[in-house]
A and B are shown apart, each in its own frame.
Chain A
Amino acid sequence: MSDNTNNRRISYRAALHDGLREALQQDPRVFLLGEDVGRYGGTYAVSRGLLDEFGPERIRDTPLSELAFVGIGIGAALGGMRPIVEVMTVNFSLLALDQIINTAAIYHHMSGGQFSVPLVIRMSTGAGRQVAAQHSNSFEGWYAHIPGIKILAPATIEDARYILAAALADPDPVLLFEHAALYNVEGELPANETVDIKSAKVRRKGTDVTLITYGGSLPKALQAAEAMAQDNISAEVLDLRVLRPLDTEAIVASVRKCHRAVVIDEGWRSGSLSAEVMARIMEQAFFDLDAPVARVCAEEVPIPYARHLEEAALPQPEKIVAAVKALLGERA
């Protein structure tokens, strides 16, 4: 089981917690602010126990004033601190959209490069827990539309553990999206790992098709790849990790190898991140394609509450397998 010197089994939630704690220990400029991060222990319990350890100056509960506390994070970052703002969920981040886009994202450029906003904004995202339309959005692809901010989507235990340090080291605003369905996932944490915030990562090697995905859809893509291996279909799974700037090189390299690609994204398809990934493949790997690029996205409907409908509305391993088989034609 667990080995103290080597890999350690840990949950995604605990990995985020450990990363957060380490950041607070290592840099006195770092502080956490957000709704229910302190006394409540964090909506997803990521910050549990930190109030006791670091005190209310550094673990600050905020009112339900998203626009203000995100903006305060921006100001504190400009003023020399390294704030981490937790917005409870991506759904509520819409209330802070103006500060994120009209202030954080533009500061450096519009000041002629004078000011930087070294701010990290964390939030949960995604559907799959039957919490209905207002709590099931996946807007990370939307945010990836905006120049001036960086968008991260840690999907693995090691990313959950180490990506925050990389985000804090970045001089610009970084938005970190934690898929709510991942918090309870457990896995091995490689010892002494570091992660960057510029590259996509191949999570499984394959030769017939590239499954391009990120975040909460990564486990589904891996499951689909596993299932297809039984049918002699070798799927490569590419975890984007960084949604902006996109690691186009990694995408193109994998597509050049496999000649087929399926993009899996929990966001809606129209005008989406999946569309952007597909466009880049068209631009840079068209002549390497052996089939149209396909995608498995959320159905274009507000996410329904009833379990069977929610499942049907979201990408699922079976849908991914079906999409791949459609690309393989008679071979499948």
Chain B
Amino acid sequence: MIAPPPSGPVPYARDFAHRLLTDMLRIRRMEEKSAELYGAGKIRGFLHLYIGEEAVAVGALHALQAEDNLVTTYREHGHALVRGMSMDVILAEMYGKREGCSLGRGGSMHLFDKRTRLFGGNAIVAGGLPVAAGLALADKIQKTSRITACFFGDGAVAEGAFHESMNLAALWQLPVLFCCENNLYAMGTALENSESQTDLCAKAASYRMPTIKVDGMDVVAVHEATRQAQARVRAGEGPLFIEYQTYRFRAHSMFDAELYRSKAEVEEWKTRGPVHTFTARLKQEGKLSEEEFLALDAQVNTEVAAAVAFAEAGTWEPVEHMLADVYTPAGSQP
């Protein structure tokens, strides 16, 4: 069972509380628009939405430093946005436009941003874990104060790469924060149908790594837990495994038959939706007025509309460029 959110009032100043809410709303509205744009054929391929899980990216990433490394999965629009990639650029990438972060070559699943040290949306389950450990190794060797946050889902724990990376990170005491977004389903397979040990923290603990389990529907709980966790990793205590217990409200990709879970289950989780619960909480505590909320929402909708316009106005990478960037140009230093 998921532990109830920490009691007591939201421990943040009004501005920061509004920041958290706004970022969750930005993800939510951007993705709702994405779903619509997918139906209209503007976005193609796979589109994995984060709706329902916003509190995790928002709470966690606000606990990191700007210099930290970030490795994510194919469900990474929210992470990229909170990390500081502009919505314009994200949508342009989803459109396949040259103005996108990866020139339109990667699309929804593959957002990369060198400026914010986002080392990609990786669409191979658990594919990012060894890379994250490697980034952390580089930092350890170079004695920086940077840590690497690596996001992955519960499905990844079944892969060999998960276990091999956990072991090495712990063995070598690498500064990695393993951020497991446990939304209970690996695509359509429930955790209990794929894992003999459904307590994911127990797996990490078996590698002698400290673990934290937190309610991923509560942005405050997420933020607080991640803040502590990153401080320990940064202090040189080695890797740490943090499990965010969360839920995706929509299909795995754009659609699935959802034969694997009941509509009642989805509805029940929706009552714990991170956006409306946090909104209600702030209002209740007098930290947000209805006017302020409407203003925030309007501002977010404006940002979304502008991003759509930006993506629409974008251009296509010329076909003649197709073979560019397969190799790094001679002489350039990465």
Contact = CB atoms under 8 A, between A and B. Distances in A.
B105 A307 contact: no
Contacts, number: 130
A35 B186 CA distance: 9
A39 B124 contact: no
B194 A63 contact: yes
Contact of A36 (B107, B161, B188, B322): B188
Contacts of B256: 40
**Interface of chain B: mostly helix, strand, loop or mixed:** loop
A64 B194 contact: yes
A39 B316 CA distance: 40
A132 B322 contact: no
A95 interface: yes
B312 interface: no
Contact of B189 (A36, A66, A302): A36
Interface stretch (A153-161, A198-206, A248-256, A308-316): A308-316
A41 B251 CA distance: 14
Contacts of B124: 91-92, 95, 134
B13 interface: no
Contacts of A170: none
B188 A132 contact: no
Contacts of B319: 308-309, 312
Interface stretch (B152-160, B264-272, B303-311): B152-160
A67 B158 CA distance: 10
Given A63-B155, A63-B194, A64-B194, A305 B104 contact: yes
Contacts of B46: 131-132, 135
A132 B105 CA distance: 7
Nearest to A313: B322
B326 A61 contact: no
Name which of A35, A63, A95 has the most chain B CB atoms within 10 A of its CB.
A63
A304 B159 CA distance: 27
Contact of B322 (A62, A131, A305, A312): A312
Contacts of A7: none
Interface in A26-50: 35-36, 39-41, 43, 45
B109 interface: yes
Interface in A284-312: 299-302, 304-309, 312
B323 A300 contact: yes
B187 interface: yes
A103 interface: no
A62 B106 contact: no
Contacts of A132: 45-46, 105-107, 109-110, 123
A65 interface: yes
Interface in B43-79: 44-46
Given A306-B316, A312-B319, A63 B104 contact: no
A133 to B, nearest CB: 7
Contacts of A109: none
Contacts of B123: 132, 134-135
A101 to B, nearest CB: 16
Interface string B121-148: 0111111000000000000000000000
B292 interface: no
A6 to B, nearest CB: 32
Nearest to B188: A40
Interface string B96-129: 1100000011110110000000000011111100
A134 B125 CA distance: 11
A133 B104 contact: no
Contact of A61 (B45, B159, B194, B316): B194
A9 interface: no
B326 A63 contact: no
> Top 4 A-B pairs ranked by shortest CB distance?
A40-B188, A306-B96, A63-B158, A305-B107
5 contacts: A41-B259, A129-B44, A130-B96, A130-B107, A299-B323
Given A64-B156, A95-B159, 12 more contacts: A36-B188, A39-B260, A40-B187, A61-B194, A62-B194, A64-B158, A130-B45, A133-B105, A133-B110, A301-B322, A306-B317, A309-B96
